[in-house]
Structure 1
Amino acid sequence: MNHRILELYSGIGGMHCAWNESKIGGEIVAAVDINTVANEVYKYNFPLTNLINKNIQSLSAKELNRFNINTILMSPPCQPFTRNGKYLDENDPRTNSFLYLIDVLDQFEKLEYILMENVKGFECSTVRRLFVDKLKECKFEFQEFLVCPSSIGVPNSRLRYYCIARKTAASWNFKRRDEIMSVIPVDYGVPNTLESIIEKDVSDKYLVNDKLLKHGNIMDICFKDSIRSCCFTKAYTHYIEGTGSVFTAATPESVKICFEKANSFDVGSEKYVESLKELNLRFFTPKEVSLLMSFPDHYKFPKTVTLKQSYRLLGNSINVKVVSELLKLLFNHQ
């Protein structure tokens, strides 16, 4: 079947990449987002896709039905469901477009499949309850997940909520549960290491600066043989704590010795910083981050997009591999 897909909150095209990776037949007939920089990146990678730069609420169900879609892929704004976003839930104006979609969901004439991604915390929200109640009202079967890419062999943490829903009468290829599942039922094989995504001859501009080296004691340091890395956020390279990992070509033993030496000085002092410099700690490049988020190797950022913008856009994006595997479950695709 040649599925017709509507990609909402399309961002830089993570859902599009996931659809391509899944090898399920179909076409992204339209993508919708209001972020002009994200749209620039999307258009650069998918120049033939009909990209609509509009607020979703300005598009009526009648207009969207003209695309003759049977599938919606979407990643609505996550800030209303995070601690940093003050967890305002349905009272956050950034939920308005998604609440609008929930309201008109029964007006999509041929809609059979939905995949939705959001941040951990969404599962506890009022908006989630409204969403699943609407799915039930529209006669969708659905399965919710809280899944991290590391559970399918990707060396990166990014725990997210997912919901796959469909109207088809065919049974699922896995045992569906009423509770949220924490594992995707796939055999991923041996976990990958970071070595395969590390770029050679990386510019010194990616080195951790003196100001941030003062916080070396809270850095999450990764090596080429690491099978893990922390979740990258939009604040990566500007703050250390909770924004993502850093990399060194040094060995774990060398790092241990270096920190033992540095810790003989006051943490954050000039001598402490100078001691850590020999490790050449650096940030992962946008290319490396995109590969850790399972974007394809040929995916690129246009030169007009700044380094800061690249990190922000990636921090707001999805893990392509996880969504690809969930799409295969959704469509019973082997």
Structure 2
Amino acid sequence: MVYNILELYSGIGGMHCAWTESGLPGQIITAVDVNTVANEVYKHNFPDINLICRNIQSLTSKEIEKLDVNVILMSPPCQPFSRNGKYLDNNDPRANSFLYLIGILPELHNIEYILMENVKGFENSTVRNQFVEKLKQCNFIFQEFLLCPMSIGVPNSRLRYYCIAQKNNSSWNFKRKDDIMLSLPKDYEEPYSINSILETDVPEKYLVPQKLLKRANIFDICHRDSRRSCCFTKAYSHYIEGAGSFYTDASPATIKETIEKANSYELGNDEFIHTISELKLRYFTPKEVLALMTFPKTYSLPKTVTTKQCYSISM
């Protein structure tokens, strides 16, 4: 079977890359996103794809039917369901476009397969309940997952919700469960080391500013042999707490010794900052963050996009 795909909330093409990596036959017929910067990056990497810059709520069911697609890949806005987004659920305006799609799903007669990704927290939302009820109404069978990249050998902690759905009655290649599955029906090797994704000759602009080192006690610090890193968010390089990990070339022993020495001083004073600065902590570069999210090595970011924009659209 050949899959003709509509990629909604296409962003910078994460779903596109994932589909290509899967090896499944098929093609992205149309991608849709309203973010102009993300679209610039998408077009830079996939120049031949029909990319539409539109609010998804402006797409009618007739327009989607005319595209002759049978698969939808989508990552709707996660802010309505996240802690940082105040968990407003269906009362958040950013959920409106997905609620619109749920509403027109019965009119999308050609759609046979759906893959939807969102943040942990979505599984407890009113919007999730509406989504799965509509899937049932439209005779889809589906399976929900909560999965972390660490569980499939990727050194990044980024727990996410996934739902796969199909409209025919063919069997899954694994035993389906009514409950949300917390692992894939396959064992993977332990995460590889971060060393494999590091860039060389990283510019000094990525060093953590001295003024921020006074809060180094809350930093999550990685080294080249680390097999884990924290979840990166859009706030990376703008905020410190909960936004992502930092990197140092120092060895684990040196990191431990330096932190112990820094902690002998008053938190945040000049001696503390001077000691921590010896680690030469830096941010992961946008390219390294993309690698931790398993974007292919061939993927690139146009020079017209700023570093701040790169972080923002990559998360």
Aligned to 1:300, the other structure's residue is in SS state coil
Distance in 2 separating the partners of 1:173 and 1:240: 42
Deviation larger for 57-66 or 165-174:
165-174
CA contact 1:71–1:111 (8 Å) conserved in 2: yes
Q: 5+ unaligned residues in a row in structure 1: which ranges?
A: 316-334
Residue 170 (structure 2) aligns with: 170
CA contact 2:152–2:190 (8 Å) conserved in 1: no
Matches within 5 A, 1:261-276: 261-276=261-276
Matches within 5 A, 1:207-286: 207-286=207-286
Matches within 5 A, 1:110-125: 110-125=110-125
Runs of 4+ with deviation above 6 angstroms: none
Q: Displacement of 1:48 after TM fit? A: 0.3
Residue 101 (structure 2) aligns with: 101
Q: How many residues align?
A: 315
Residue 48 (structure 2) aligns with: 48
Aligned to 2:16, the other structure's residue is in SS state helix
Q: Displacement of 1:240 after TM fit? A: 1.6
Aligned to 1:214, the other structure's residue is in SS state helix
Deviation larger for 233-242 or 291-300:
233-242
Q: Displacement of 1:201 after TM fit? A: 1.1
Aligned to 2:64, the other structure's residue is in SS state helix
Matches within 5 A, 1:1-334: 1-315=1-315
Aligned to 2:294, the other structure's residue is in SS state coil
Distance in 2 separating the partners of 1:191 and 1:125: 31
CA contact 1:80–1:86 (8 Å) conserved in 2: yes
Distance in 2 separating the partners of 1:237 and 1:231: 13
Code of the residue aligned with 1:158 in structure 2: it is R
CA RMSD of aligned residues (A): 0.8
Q: Displacement of 1:187 after TM fit? A: 2.8
Distance in 2 separating the partners of 1:302 and 1:312: 14
Aligned to 2:94, the other structure's residue is in SS state helix
Q: Displacement of 1:169 after TM fit? A: 2.0
CA contact 1:212–1:239 (8 Å) conserved in 2: no
Aligned to 1:181, the other structure's residue is in SS state coil
Q: Displacement of 1:310 after TM fit? A: 0.3
Q: Displacement of 1:114 after TM fit? A: 0.2
Code of the residue aligned with 1:284 in structure 2: it is F
Aligned to 1:145, the other structure's residue is in SS state strand
Identity of aligned residues (%): 64
Code of the residue aligned with 2:72 in structure 1: it is I
Compute the TM-score of the two structures, normalised by the length of structure 1. 0.93
Code of the residue aligned with 2:279 in structure 1: it is L
The Cα offsets for residues 51-77 of structure 1, whole Å up to 9 and x where unpaired, read as 000001111000111111110000001
Q: Displacement of 1:190 after TM fit? A: 3.9
Code of the residue aligned with 1:277 in structure 2: it is S
Distance in 2 separating the partners of 1:217 and 1:247: 14
CA contact 1:13–1:42 (8 Å) conserved in 2: yes
Q: Displacement of 1:21 after TM fit? A: 0.3
The Cα offsets for residues 220-250 of structure 1, whole Å up to 9 and x where unpaired, read as 0111111100000011112221011001111
